[in-house]
C-alpha cells in the first residue's frame, strides 16, 4: 500500500501553491514519483495509480473549483472551462451547431459513464494506452527513461503510431477530442506560480523524439484553466470518422476529423487532423493543401485520394501496424465522400 496526501484546495491559486511544494526528482520524472498531481474526473489518473505507473505523493482534488462553463466570446471563439465534462461539451448547443466534428468525436470515445466524469483538461492531458507503458515491468522510455521501447520489437498492432514516432517511443495518442480540436484550431490557457500564459493547441502535445516522457508543454507548476476554440469557419461542413476493432468503447485504429469551408461548390479552406496513427493529434497540412480550391462533388474522388495519400506523407510502419496507413487513407476518402454528398459521417 502506497501512502499519499489528499488535499482539497479552495481556489486555483491555492491548488497551484500546494502543487508546487511537491517535487519530482529528475530520475523519477516519468513516473511522477514524489510529485503532486491534480485530480478532476480521474478517468486516467486513477487507473495509472492503481497500476503503479504513477506514484504521486500528493493528490490535489480540483473538481470543485469551478472552471466548468462554456462561453461564447465576442470574437466568435468558444471558451471551454477545464472541468467541463465530455458529455456536457458534446451536447452543448453551440458545439453541436458550430463544431459538430467535436461533438461527434466526443461521442465516439469511451462509454457514457466515463464521458460523464472525464473533463476537457483531463482529455487534453490523457496519457497513452500502450500496454508496455501500463504493465509496469516492460522496457518503456515513457515510464523509465533509458530503458528502451518494447513496443518497437513487440506487439504494436493497434495502439501504436505510424506518424511522429522515434526510436524511443511509438505509442499513439489516444484522444478523440484532441483530434477534433487539432482540426478546429484552439488555444490552451494555463496558470502557474509565474502567472498566466497561452499555448497554441498545435504546440501543446510534444513528439517523443529523445525525451518521450515529456508529453506536453505544460510546466510542472502549471494547471490548465480553459481551452478556447478558434471561431468556426464560415459555411462549413465537418465530420469525424473513427475506425476501431469494435464499435463499443474502443480506441481508434485510425480516425480523421475533416472540416471544409465552402464558397459555392468550391473548397475555400480545409482542415484535416488524424488520430490513432500518430504520437500526437496530427494536423495533416499537406492534405489540406490538396483540398483547397477543389470542387466539392462526387466527381472529385481522385482529389480525395490524393489528399489521403498526402495526409500520410512520411508514415513509417513497424510491421504489425502497417495496415493503419491504408486504413487511415480509406477513412479520409470516405469522410470526404460523405461530406461531398452533403451529409455528415
Q: How confident is the model at residue 20 (pLDDT cuts 50, 70, 90)?
A: confident
Of the listed ranges 100-104, 210-214, 269-273, 338-342, the one predicted with least confidence: 338-342
Cα(320)–Cα(158) distance, integer angstroms:
8
How do residues 147-186 score in pLDDT, each as one tens digit?
999 999 999 999 999 999 999 999 999 999 999 999 999 9
In words, the CATH class of domain 236-341 is alpha beta
Backbone Cα Rg of the chain: 20
- Grid coordinates representing 133? 507503458
**Taking 60 as the threshold, does the pLDDT of residue 34 lie above it?**
no
Strands annotated E in the chain? 5-7, 36-39, 58-61, 70-72, 78-81, 186-192, 195-200, 223-229, 236-243, 254-263, 266-275, 282-283
Residue 310 to residue 122: CA distance in whole angstroms? 31
Q: Does the structure show a pLDDT above 50 at 26?
A: no
CATH 3.30.1450 corresponds to the domain 5-63: no
Q: What is the pLDDT of residues 202-258, one digit of tens each?
A: 999 999 999 999 999 999 889 999 999 999 999 999 999 999 999 888 999 999 999
**Mean pLDDT score, 46-51:** 94
Is the pLDDT at 345 greater than 50, yes or no? no
Quick one: what percent of the chain has pLDDT higher than 70?
95
What residue spans define the domains of the chain? Answer: 5-63, 236-341
pLDDT of 115 reads 95
Q: Are 339 and 258 in contact (CB under 8 A)?
A: yes
3-state secondary structure of 188: strand
Confidence (pTM): 0.95
User: Per-residue pLDDT for 31 more than 80?
Assistant: no
CA–chain centroid gap for 290, Å, is: 24
Contact 345, 338 (CB under 8 A): yes
| Residue 265 vs residues 235, 241, 257, 296: alpha-carbon distances, Å | 11, 22, 20, 5
Residues forming a β-bridge with 149: 140
Percent of all residues in the chain with a pLDDT value above 90, rounded to a whole number = 90
Residue 25, pLDDT > 50, answer no
Amino acid at each position: 500500500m502506497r501512502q499519499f496526501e489528499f488535499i482539497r484546495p479552495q481556489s486555483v491559486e491555492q491548488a497551484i501553491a500546494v502543487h508546487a511544494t511537491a517535487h519530482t526528482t529528475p530520475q523519477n520524472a516519468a513516473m511522477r514519483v514524489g510529485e503532486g498531481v491534480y485530480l478532476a474526473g480521474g478517468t486516467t489518473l486513477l487507473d495509472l495509480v492503481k497500476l503503479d505507473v504513477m506514484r504521486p505523493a500528493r493528490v490535489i482534488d480540483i473538481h470543485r473549483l469551478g472552471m466548468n462553463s462554456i462561453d461564447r466570446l465576442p470574437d466568435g471563439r468558444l471558451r471551454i472551462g477545464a472541468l467541463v465534462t465530455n458529455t456536457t461539451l458534446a451536447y452543448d448547443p453551440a458545439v453541436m451547431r458550430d463544431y459538430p466534428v467535436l461533438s461527434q468525436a466526443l461521442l465516439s470515445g469511451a462509454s457514457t459513464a466515463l464521458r460523464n466524469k472525464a473533463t476537457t483538461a483531463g482529455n487534453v492531458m490523457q496519457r497513452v494506452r500502450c500496454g508496455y507503458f501500463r504493465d509496469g515491468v516492460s522496457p518503456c522510455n515513457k515510464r523509465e527513461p533509458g530503458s528502451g521501447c518494447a513496443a518497437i520489437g513487440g506487439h504494436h498492432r493497434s495502439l501504436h503510431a505510424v506518424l511522429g514516432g522515434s526510436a524511443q517511443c511509438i505509442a499513439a495518442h489516444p484522444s478523440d477530442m484532441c483530434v477534433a480540436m487539432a482540426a478546429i484550431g484552439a488555444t490552451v490557457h494555463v496558470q502557474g506560480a509565474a502567472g498566466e500564459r497561452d499555448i497554441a493547441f498545435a504546440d501543446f502535445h510534444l513528439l517523443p523524439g529523445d525525451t518521450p516522457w515529456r508529453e506536453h508543454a505544460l510546466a510542472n507548476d502549471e494547471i490548465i484553466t480553459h481551452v478556447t476554440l478558434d471561431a468556426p469557419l464560415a459555411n462549413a461542413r465537418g465530420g469525424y470518422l473513427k475506425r476501431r476493432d469494435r464499435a463499443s468503447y474502443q480506441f481508434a485504429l485510425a480516425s480523421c476529423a475533416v472540416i471544409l469551408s465552402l464558397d459555392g461548390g468550391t473548397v475555400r479552406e480545409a482542415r484535416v487532423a488524424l488520430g490513432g496513427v500518430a504520437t500526437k493529434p496530427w494536423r495533416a497540412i499537406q492534405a489540406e493543401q490538396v483540398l483547397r480550391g477543389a470542387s466539392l462533388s462526387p466527381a472529385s474522388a481522385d482529389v480525395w485520394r490524393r489528399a489521403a495519400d498526402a495526409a500520410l506523407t512520411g508514415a513509417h510502419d513497424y510491421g504489425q501496424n502497417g495496415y493503419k496507413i491504408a486504413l487511415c487513407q480509406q477513412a479520409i476518402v470516405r469522410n470526404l465522400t460523405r461530406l461531398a454528398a452533403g451529409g455528415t459521417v
